[in-house]
Amino acid sequence: MKEQQQREAATALLFSVSDANFRAVEIQCLKKMESHPKNVGILAMEVYFPTTCVQQGALETFDGASKGKYTIGLGQDCMTFCTDLEDVISMSLTVVTSLLEKYAIDPMQIGRLEVGSETVIDKSKSIKTWLMWIFEKCGNTEIEGVDSTNACYGGTAALFNCVNWVESSSWDGRYGLVVSTDSAVYAEGPARPTGGAAAIAMLIGPNAPIAFENKYRGTHMAHAYDFYKPDLASEYPVVDGKLSQNCYLMALDSCYNRFCNKFKKRDGRQFSLLDADYVALHSPYNKLVQKSFARLFFNDFLRHASSVGSNIQEKLEPYAGLSEEESYSSRELEKVSQQVAKPLYDAKVQPSTFLPKQVGNMYTASLYAALASIIHNKHGSLKGQRVLMFSYGSGLASTMFSLKIREGQHPFTVSNIAEVMNLQSKLDSRHEFAPEDFVDNLKLMETRYGAKDFVSYSQHDFLRPGTFYLTKVDSMYRRFYAQKLISPNDNCGEPKLANGIKHY
C-alpha cells in the first residue's frame, strides 16, 4: 500500500517537470546510483600465525589426559602460540605489511584501518595506533578507525564498521583495512589446549570478490558471564565452559532464526542449509563447530526446511518435542543430529576447518581463518557461491551473515587470495615445540604480561623472514619492534629507529 503511494507520488513528480529537466534528473540519478558503491566486501586477505606450535597429541600425553581427549574430544590437531618475541602488535605489523606488499597496495590508499582484538596490551592506546607506524613513514596519517572490543566478536564488528563506512557518505573512495588478531592462552587446566594465535588482515572496498549480503544479517546480543577477563593483571580469562557452550548454541539458534526470517521476507521463500554452499562458524575448538552445524540442521528439521529428507525427519522426530533447554543438554539429540548432518557437514563445513584445527582458537581471527580455509581449499570453484558465517564473542555478541563469492579482478580474486595466503607452505614451515617447552614458554609469558623493563630473548631462527618481533619494553612500558630481514641485502646501513619501532 505504502509502496503504491510512493510510486504514484514519484510518477506525479516526474510528469510535473519539463522534458529537459526530466532527462537531467534522470542522468543525475543514474550517476548517483552508479557511483554508489556496490558489492562491498573483502578484496584481499593475508593470514599470519607464529611458526611456533605444539601438537595436540603430544600435549594430551604430557598432560596425562586420556588418548584422543584433545585430538578427537576437542577435534584439534595442533596449536600455535607466541613466544616472548611476538604479540598482537607484532603479528598485526607483520600481516598488514605483508598484505600491502603482496597485493601492491599503496599505503596512501588506505582510508580506514580498524583492529578487532581481545588481547589487551594497553587499556587506552589502540593496537591501530601502533600500526600507524607503517603508514606514517609513507606520509599517510589520515586513516579513520580504532579498535573494536568484545571477546571473539571484535573482528566482525570492525569488518561491519568498515563495510558500512564504504557505503556511507563519509567514504572518501579509499580502501578500508581490518585486522583481527589475538593470542589465546589459558591457565593450566582443561581449557589450555584451546589456545592459538594469529592475525588476519582484510582489505575492504566495492566490487569485491567476497561481497556482503547485508540484508540477511541476524544478530543476537545479551549480558552473560560465560567467558570474561576481569583479572586485569592476568592474561588468562575466567571461563565457565558449560555456560559458554550453551550461550554459543543459544546465540546460534537465535541468529539463524533471524537470518532465515530476513531471507524469507526478502526472497519470499524459506532458507535452508542447502542455500549455503559453505558454512564458516567461529571455532573455539572443532568439536563445537561439529555440534553447531548439527544444531543448525536440527533447526532446519524443526522449520520443515528442504534440507532435511523424510528418512532423516524420522530419525529426528523423537526430539521434536524437547523444550529448548532440554534440547541443549540432550546427548542423544547431539549424537543423532551430528550423524544425520554428517554428509552436509563434510561438504559445507569441513573445508572451513583446516586452519582452525591446525592453529587453534584465534579468537577474533578464528572465523576469518575458517573463511581463509574455504578459499584455500575451494578457490577454483567458488564463483557464485554463498558462504554462511557465524561470529560469536562471549559476554555476548553474535551475528550470522552471508558472503557471496564473485569473480573479481586481479589482484582481487579468490584464486589470488589463496596464492598470497599460501597456507599450506606456512603450516609446513612451522617449528614444533615439545609440550614441556610450550609450558615453560607460558610461564615466561606470565612474567611478561603487563611488565616493563625487559628484553626479549627467544630464538629469532623460528621467525620467517619479514616477521616483526618485540625487541624490548623500556622502563616507561614503551615497546620496541624490529623486522626480520627478508634477505641479507635488505639491510641498508644502520637499523632505523622510528617512533619506538626499530626497523632494519
Do the annotations mark residue 394 as ligand-binding?
Answer: no
Spatial strand order in the sheet of 78-80: 78-80, 52-55, 431-432
Distance CA 163, CA 166 (A): 5
Give the cell for residue 35. Answer: 557511483
Minimum Å gap between C-beta 320 and its own copies is 25
Give the residue from 158, 179, 201, 167 showing the smallest Cα distance to 40: 167
Distances from the Cα of 290 to the Cα of 55, 249, 282, angstroms = 21, 11, 11
Catalytic residue of the set 53, 152, 162, 255: 152
Q: What is the dihedral of CA 170, 33, 110, 88, to 10 degrees?
A: 80
Catalytic residue of the set 60, 114, 118, 235: 118
Minimum Å gap between C-beta 39 and its own copies is 11
Do the annotations mark residue 264 as ligand-binding?
Answer: no
Q: String of b and e for 316-350 (b: at least 16 CB within 10 Å)? A: beebeebeeeebbeeeebbebbbebbeebbeebbb
Catalytic residue of the set 235, 255, 282, 379: 282
Sequence letter at residue 311: N
Would residue 26 show up in a list of annotated catalytic residues for this protein? no
Distances from the Cα of 385 to the Cα of 192, 274, 366, 414, angstroms = 36, 11, 21, 12
Chain centre to alpha carbon of residue 369? 6
Distance CA 438, CA 440 (A): 5
Minimum Å gap between C-beta 344 and its own copies is 27
Chain centre to alpha carbon of residue 77? 20
Minimum Å gap between C-beta 349 and its own copies is 25
Distance CA 469, CA 335 (A): 45
Would residue 304 show up in a list of annotated catalytic residues for this protein? no
Distance CA 398, CA 247 (A): 10
Minimum Å gap between C-beta 84 and its own copies is 16
Task: Give every CB contact of residue 345 below 8 A, 6+ residues apart in sequence.
Answer: 290, 293, 294, 338
Give the cell for residue 429. Answer: 614451515
Sequence letter at residue 502: K
Cβ closer to its own copies: 105 or 501? 501
Chain centre to alpha carbon of residue 368? 3
Residue tagged 520443515 (cell numbers): 304
Distance CA 387, CA 212 (A): 10
Would residue 118 show up in a list of annotated catalytic residues for this protein? yes
Minimum Å gap between C-beta 282 and its own copies is 14
Cβ closer to its own copies: 283 or 377? 283
Distance CA 232, CA 238 (A): 11
Minimum Å gap between C-beta 213 and its own copies is 10
Distance CA 303, CA 326 (A): 18
Enzyme catalytic residues: 118, 152, 282
Binding residues for CoA: 244, 287, 291
Binding residues: 244, 287, 291
